[in-house]
Structure 1
Amino acid sequence: MEPLTRDHFFDGRIILNQPESGYRFSIDAVILSHLVSPAPGETVLDLGTGCGVIPIMLAFRHPDIRVIGVEIQSSLSRLARQNVADNRLTHRIRTIEKDIGKLLLSDIGGPVDRVVTNPPYRKLDSGRINADSQRAVARHELKTDLETVLQTARRMLRKAGRFSIIYPSVRSVDLLAMMRSTGIEPKSLTMIHSKPASPARLVAVTGVKGGRPGLEVGPPLELYHEDGSYTRTLQAMFSG
């Protein structure tokens, strides 16, 4: 078994085991789990859950929701289950090992209220593919792509259910166009900047299945001050 690191978040109240040299979750997942605000009683589906970071952070912040994580890689799905158990959340989080494109409603017990995802975003022709296969599958469109993620989200969502994604800002046009063509209407958008004067690196978008046109662009989200220190928003993401 690959060596793991044992990391603590939310002032030590969350434990996350991660591969020492394989795929490790990035700040993208932390941002997404911070921006999503499910209502009490909702069921949330995380497509490409990795080590389970988004379900665990969502379940910790929102004690009245259920979360289902789907992961195609056996090593990561096992790790996600371990992390869920270590955080005593097995009664609220379930991990399914399956190809996202082959996911069925029967796998998850029927339509869900929300789908969230931090999917692979690098096209196969966009530079060198990481030699570490675990990282490659998590970052490059090897096992799935944006269209598959969106089609699966639409199938899994109830009518008027919400879909939230974090994605590179350079692919914003691809994302918004494909969401609309899939039947998930973009409704809110947040540009994410490392520092106030830097260009946006990421975009977070929420859409509604079968929603009417009308996009609200919110204030930019800035992660670091010019001196490199955390903004208050980023501090909140790591403190729970």
Structure 2
Amino acid sequence: MNKLTTDTFFNGKIRVIQSRSGYRFSIDAVLLANSALPREDGRVLDLGTGCGIIPLILAHRHPGIRIFGTEIQKGLADIAILNVEANHMAGRITIFQEDMKNLRPSMTGGAADMVISNPPYRKPGSGRVNPDQERAIARHEIRATLSDLVQTARRMLRISGHFVTIYPADRMTDLLTQMRNADIEPKSFRTVHSGKHTEAKLILAEGIRGARPGGIKIAPPLIIYDENGNYTDEVSEMFGKKE
């Protein structure tokens, strides 16, 4: 295993171990985890959990939920398991190494109330592929496409279950199309901007399996940095700096 680093969230209440040189989580995962509002006794599945950052944040913010995280890469799955153990959450978070395309509800004890994912954003052949395989698989659609992701979400969700994800704003149409093709009706969106006067970089999206078409809500934009280049109050709170 590569050399590891440790970061903390929520004033030291959560420790996050990561590879120093391999794939490391980005702020996208933090924004996504904090946008999700699972049922307080619900079952949540994180597709492509990486180091387990999303389950850790969700478990801290929502003490009643049960979380499963799946990761195709063994090195990352091992680190996610290490994080669960380091934060004494083995009774609430289960991590397993598996290709999402092979997942079935029986593998997680039943259909999920929520499926969440911070997926690879880039199509193969678009942009430079990182020479580090771990990073490349996490950022490009090498082992799973957008269609694979959304179809897996549908298969793992109960009827009326929620799918929550974050995706590039310039691929919003692709995401909407795939969600509707999978009978996951888009219900809410929130654009994410680096600064107050910048174009949307990302979108936070939520859909409901089997819901009737229409009724989409557009939330106020999420701004990451203020005019001084610091995190806005909203984003600072996501890292637990105001706990």
Bin of the TM-score, shorter chain as denominator length: over 0.9
The aligned residue for residue 155 of structure 1 is 155
Kindly provide the CA deviation profile for residues 134-186 of structure 1, in whole angstroms up to 9, marking residues without a partner as x.
Answer: 00010000110110000000000001000000011110010011111111000
Question: After the TM superposition, which parts of structure 1 deviate over 6 Å for at least 4 consecutive aligned residues?
Answer: none
SS at match of 1:134: helix
Number of corresponding residues: 240
Alignment of 1:47-126 (within 5 A): 47-126=47-126
Q: Would you say 1:234 and 2:235 are equivalent positions?
A: yes
The aligned residue for residue 13 of structure 2 is 13
Q: Would you say 1:195 and 2:195 are equivalent positions?
A: yes
In the alignment, residue 31 of structure 2 is paired with which amino acid?
I
Cα distance in 1 for residues equivalent to 2:219 and 2:127 = 32
Cα distance in 2 for residues equivalent to 1:51 and 1:230 = 23
Cα distance in 1 for residues equivalent to 2:76 and 2:146 = 20
Q: Percent identity?
A: 49
Using structure 1 for the length normalisation, give the TM-score.
Answer: 0.98
Q: Would you say 1:137 and 2:137 are equivalent positions?
A: yes
In the alignment, residue 232 of structure 1 is paired with which amino acid?
D
CA RMSD of aligned residues (A): 0.8
The aligned residue for residue 224 of structure 1 is 225
Alignment of 1:36-51 (within 5 A): 36-51=36-51
Task: Provide structure 1 residue ranges, at least 5 long, that are not aligned to the other structure.
Answer: none
Q: Is the 8 A contact 2:195 2:223 kept in 1?
A: yes
Q: Is the 8 A contact 2:39 2:113 kept in 1?
A: no
In the alignment, residue 70 of structure 1 is paired with which amino acid?
T
SS at match of 2:231: coil
Cα distance in 2 for residues equivalent to 1:16 and 1:69 = 15
Task: Provide structure 2 residue ranges, at least 5 long, that are not aligned to the other structure.
Answer: none
